[in-house]
A and B are shown apart, each in its own frame.
Chain A
Amino acid sequence: MSSDEAFVLEVLAALRDSGVEAIVVGSVAALLQGAPLTTDDMDVLIRDTPANRSKLKDLEQRLGGKAIALSPLSSAVRITTHQAHLDILFDEIPGGLGFQGLRARSARVDLGDAVAVVASLEDIIASKEAAGRPKDLAQLPVLRDTLRVLRALKKS
């Protein structure tokens, strides 16, 4: 197992043990479903509730990092660990995609020691289209191709 794979399992275990229900979104969600991507962080979406905000302290301790606000323009926080950044987003991702809808359309990916709840590839594509940053737009062709390949595999 690579250190990157181990980090994903570590984050999923920390979220579970902290009692935070999270959906993996962004590039890591896409690559867990077969997109050949690279990234510099792992994004998860949680509900913005007082309970979840207080659970972040526990999550910080488990991951050995401190949650820092990413920007005054965003509610997202980042926990930087020895391995990679974990970005925690609240309530919705670009494209107006909210927690409830994302969870209803999510997929469950079996990772052996853990099950990751991940945003659907369709939702990830919609979110990256809406975000419109150069790094998101650059990933769209391979994400669309991955979706087509997955659909072709399902058909047969």
Chain B
Amino acid sequence: MQPDAPAPSDLEALIAKVQQEQARLAPLLPDIDPGDLNSILVAIFRPWGMGRRFFIRRLPSGANVF
């Protein structure tokens, strides 16, 4: 496991919470793409310190990496 990776139990709890809220909210927000809704819910419920990466770095080659 990489140092940033969340513990499996934390990950399972996050997945369960996101699935529960997605099932509840999807009918209320039908115009939001299901994949986008999933990404938003993961970002909302993912606990701080669980290894989220969000800074992009540009390499001299021009490629962007986390």
Interface segment, one of A94-102, A123-131, A145-153: A145-153
A152 vs B58: C-alpha distance when bound (angstroms): 36
0 or 1 for each of A8-46: is its CB under 8 Å from B? (1 = yes): 000000000000000000011001011111111100000
Partner of B55 from A38, A146, A149, A156 at Cβ < 8 Å: A38
Size bracket of the A interface: 20 to 34
Number of B interface residues in the complex (CB < 8 A): 27
The reply to whether A39 and B56 form a contact with Cβ atoms under 8 Å apart is yes
Summed over the interface, the residue pairs from A and B with CB atoms below 8 Å come to a total of 84
A141 vs B44: C-alpha distance when bound (angstroms): 16
**Counting CB contacts under 8 A, is B12 at the interface?**
no
Interface residue ranges of B1-32 to A (CB < 8 Å): 4, 21, 24-25, 28-29, 32
The reply to whether A149 and B51 form a contact with Cβ atoms under 8 Å apart is no
Partner of B39 from A5, A36, A148 at Cβ < 8 Å: A36
The reply to whether A84 and B55 form a contact with Cβ atoms under 8 Å apart is yes
A41 vs B58: C-alpha distance when bound (angstroms): 12
The reply to whether B40 and A1 form a contact with Cβ atoms under 8 Å apart is no
A6 vs B53: C-alpha distance when bound (angstroms): 10
Contact A153 B21, CB 8 Å, known A37-B54, A39-B54, A142-B36: yes
The reply to whether A40 and B32 form a contact with Cβ atoms under 8 Å apart is no
A32 vs B36: C-alpha distance when bound (angstroms): 17
Chain B residues with CB under 8 Å of A39's CB are: 54-56
Contact A38 B52, CB 8 Å, known A145-B37, A153-B25: no
**Counting CB contacts under 8 A, is A74 at the interface?**
no
The reply to whether A1 and B43 form a contact with Cβ atoms under 8 Å apart is no
The reply to whether B56 and A149 form a contact with Cβ atoms under 8 Å apart is no
The reply to whether A38 and B44 form a contact with Cβ atoms under 8 Å apart is no
Chain A residues with CB under 8 Å of B32's CB are: 145, 148-149
